[in-house]
Amino acid sequence: MPIIRRVVLPNYGHGSTLGNLTRNWRRMMDEKIISLSNVAKSFGRNQVLDDINLTIHKGQSIALVGNNGSGKSTLLKIICGLANATSGKVTYSGKLKFNYVPEHFPKMGITAKQYLMHMGLIEGIAADRINEKLQELLQTFFMEHMADTQMKNLSKGSLQKVAVIQALLSRPDVLLLDEPLSGQDLQSQRRFIHLVKELILQEVTVIMSCHEMLLVNQLSDVAYEIKSQKLEPFAIDKTPKWDWDILYFEKPVEGTSIHPGITGRAHKLDYTEDDIRIVVSREDSNKIILQMIQDGFNLRAMKGIDEWEN
């Protein structure tokens, strides 16, 4: 049977429900929705977490980093109620809907589309709306051609895309992500980051465990490292990471032409009186520079930008 990743928790506190809370950003960030007090977790004699204290706010984005086996996944499950703490207390401000994306997704004898339709119906989404949303998300993650493939035949990366698509079918109060980018191609990673940023703008709280500093730096307000069973603050690098490069080459001598592979990869290519300007994605930049130099062009300058508009 498919595993349901949706958890609704009862109201344990005396605060207002999320539907009645103000939209004001400052008050939103002051709104505590989950509190962990002196939480510890052991598996037999093996203690994984000890004296964890954490307050989670509405609309906050939190990253958990640490070595494999440090307890990141366990802490995520404790936060959403899929695992119990050995000691300590977890409290919630009201009824919260959690969407949880696990690191390892089960391989099943049904197609990806059948699974996602089934989960969407369990969520209470109308069938036509599920179809509409699935078409959009399958295209976003380059999964259209795999929609009718049985999940037992999908790779780890493709299964993880299915898990992410499921989590994005509806908007939760809290989105929990366990190593969401492992096994993902670069384009899918960027699409995923963009979609999660949109959810954060819609006041969805995001809590994720990950190793990729790109994800930590781009999505997180705050990060913690689990070290020796404890939760310690982890520094985030908010230095801009450029997505695009603008390359400036000297105009070539007569008879020199630009390689067709470059014109196919370039986001924009302009000829001016003095030079050639090529706008390329960061991952293609080095290849294009090398090809242009091999073809006899001289690089005059380059600069990075985070967005490009025609």
> 1, 79 in Cβ contact below 8 A?
no
Enter the tokens of residue 139: 């295209």
pLDDT at res. 183: 65
Of 26-35, 41-50, 73-82, give the lowest mean pLDDT range: 26-35
What's the rounded Cα separation, in Å, for the pair 64 and 76?
9
Run of H or E including 46 = strand 46-57
What's the rounded Cα separation, in Å, for the pair 169 and 123?
9
DSSP count for the chain of H helices, then E strands:
9, 14
pLDDT at res. 134: 93
pLDDT at res. 4: 36
pLDDT at res. 72: 94
Q: What is the CATH number of domain 244-305?
A: 3.30.70
Q: Model-level pTM? A: 0.68
Mean pLDDT of 168-176: 91
Domain parsing of the chain, residue ranges:
6-234, 244-305
Return the ∠ at Cα 253 (arms to 251 and 258), rounded to 5°.
Answer: 65
Residue 305 has pLDDT above 80, yes or no: no
- What's the CATH number of domain 6-234, 2.60.40.10, 3.40.50.300, 3.40.50.970, 3.40.47.10? 3.40.50.300
- Examine domains 6-234 and 244-305 and report if their fold is the same: no
Enter the tokens of residue 185: 């191609």
